[in-house]
Structures are given as structure tokens and as C-alpha cells.
Amino acid sequence: MPSLNYVAPTTVSDAVKILADASGPTRVLSGGTDLLVQLRAGRISPELIVDTKKIPGIMGITGSAAEGFTIGAATTGAELGDHQALKAAYPGVVEAANLIGSKQVQGRASLAGNLCNASPAADSVPAVIAAGGTVTIAGPSGTRTAPAESIVTGPGRTSLAKGEFIVSFHLPAIKGKTSDAYLRFIPRTEMDIAVVGCGVSITVDAGGTITAAKISLGAVAPTQVPVDASCIIGTKLDDAALAKLDAAAQAMCNPIDDKRGTIEFRTKVAGVLARRTAKIAYDRAGAR
């Protein structure tokens, strides 16, 4: 009979050692909202589960808009939603994280779990990428920092090496008139998985002209994909710029036909969401 062991180390170094020494299939547990479901459905059968939640600092939010925020890897969506300063500075990241699952799931679901589950449809990931988020990774050879977009390499696959796990997320200091937004499309209103997701961060000057922008699409390719934002930089997001953005977003799509949407539908909706999300981020940035 297969056996399953569970450990809950209390230090980062213990966790790294356990992960590095593990010989069989091993999974890192944060909130477990994907892991436990996959386990129950028989889609995975790990021999070892390493729960990170007993590690001090793995949950919690520090910092400010002026100096940037550090978010513990296992911090729950509910905590993100309750953090007024974070919500004010990064409304897009928080609204994306808060779209995961349901109210009940929000009490457990974490940014690290959402990222490392490596689903192309993960809600928080395009938002964190657009916001310029980075992650701090602990591993056998010490600690390293990497951009959020470098983690997911394909459905269910990450760039993390054996023994590595994410300790925290970092969102940069807000400079000038910058804000973000995230929209996703689902057939229902909640309890669903993104057919298309879009994160946008925009910086405008005093006159409302866009000086910087970062856009990330989810669920339209094997990994989150960037959209070339040059078509809106230097504009005030007029109709012509929005049309170009729509086309640029569609150009980046390489989706599959599946139970959640057709290639044609996903591609068209990616353009629609890019426009709509950019408009929200632009209005928020202008209001700063």
C-alpha cells in the first residue's frame, strides 16, 4: 500500500533540508487549496508533504507603498484583502488574489500556492507579474530572488530546483502615478477558473500620458504571457491606443480548445480584457 508522510518544519533551513533529502515524489503545502484537491482526486500521489505554515514569517505582510511590500508565501487571500495599505497600493494584485475560489477558499489560498501550482489560469499570477513582483526562494545553496514571471515554465511545471521553495513575494515601491488592475473572464460569477485573465500596471505623468506599462495575460498559453505595451506608452489610452492594445493582446495568444473555451473565443476575449483592464488601471493611476 502506498504511504504518505507529512512534516511541518519550523525553520526555513529545516524545510530546505527535508525537501533536498526527499527521495520520492514530494509536495510543498501552503494553503492546500490545489494540493489537497489533487490528492483527493487521485491526480497526484506524493510520498511526502512538507507543510510550510509553521515557519515563522511565512504568513504576514510588511512594508508600505513608499518602500514596497513583502508578503509571506503562505499569506492567505483573506489577509491580503484585509490589508488596507496593500489594497490601496496594489488594488490589482489584491483583487486577483481575492478571485481565487470562494470565500471559504480565501481563508487558505496563498500567492505561493497559486504560483507554484503552475496553472496557466492562475488568477494572482498575471497581476503579480504586471505589478513587477519578485519572489524570494530558499534552497540548498542559499537564498535567491527571481522575477515572478520566471517561475512558471509550463502547465504544472516550475523553474524551482530540488530543495527550493518560495519564502516570500516582494512588490516594489509605488513610484509616481502608478496603479494596477486585474480582470478575468469566467462563464459564471464565481467558483470558476479563468478562461482568460489579464493583469495590467500603468504609470502616467501629470498630464495623463502613459509613461510605463506592464501587461500579463493568463489562460491563453501554456504559461502567463507578456503583452507588448509599447502601443499604449505615450498615449492617453484613447480609442486608437485601445484598439492597438486589443490586437497586441490577441497576437500573444496561443490557447488550446478545451472545456473552458475555444481558441477563437479565448483570443477575442483576451483583447477585450486587455482593453478593459488597462482602462481601469489607467483611471486608477490618474487618480493618484
**Residues engaged in binding other proteins (CB under 8 A):** 1, 41, 185, 187-193, 195, 258-262, 264-265, 268-269, 272
C-alpha cell at position 267: 483570443
**Nearest distance in Å: CB 200, other proteins:** 17
Q: How far is the CB of 176 from other proteins (least distance, A)?
A: 31
CB of 245 to other proteins, least distance (A): 14
Nearest Cα neighbor of 200 from 215, 210, 179, 185 is 215
For other proteins, the closer CB: 10 or 40: 40
Taking CA atoms, 32 is separated from 5, 18, 148, 193, in Å, by 15, 19, 20, 17
SS3 call for 68: strand
Minimum CB separation from other proteins for residue 103, in Å? 10
- Beta carbon nearer to other proteins, 21 or 258: 258
Nearer to other proteins, 151 or 194 (CB): 194
Please state, in angstroms and rounded to a whole number, the distance separating the CA atoms of residues 40 and 216.
Answer: 32
Nearer to other proteins, 4 or 173 (CB): 4
Cell triple for residue 271? Answer: 483583447
Q: Nearer to other proteins by C-beta: 16 or 273?
A: 273
> What DSSP string runs through 127-172?
HHHHTT-EEEEEETTEEEEEEGGGTEEETTEESPPTT-EEEEEEEP
Chain-centroid distance of CA 136 in Å reads: 14
Closest contact distance (angstroms) between CB of 53 and other proteins is: 25
Q: Which residue number, 41 or 206, has a Cβ lying nearer to other proteins?
A: 41
Which helix or strand (DSSP H or E) is residue 185 part of? strand 177-185
- Shortest distance (Å) from residue 226 CB to other proteins: 22
Residue pointed to by grid coordinates 479565448: 266
Give the nearest distance from C-beta 278 to other proteins in angstroms. 14
- Of 23 and 189, nearer to other proteins (C-beta) is 189
Q: What sign does the CA torsion over 229, 232, 237, 239 have? A: negative
Measured CA to CA in angstroms, residue 240 lies from 132, 279, 284 at distances of 26, 13, 20
Looking from the CA of 150 toward its CB, the CA atoms found within 13 Å total 13
Q: Parallel, antiparallel, or unpaired: how do β-strands 48-51 and 5-7 relate? A: parallel
Minimum CB distance to other proteins, residue 145 (Å) = 34
Which C-beta is closer to other proteins: that of 177 or that of 266?
266
CB 195 within 8 A of CB 268: no
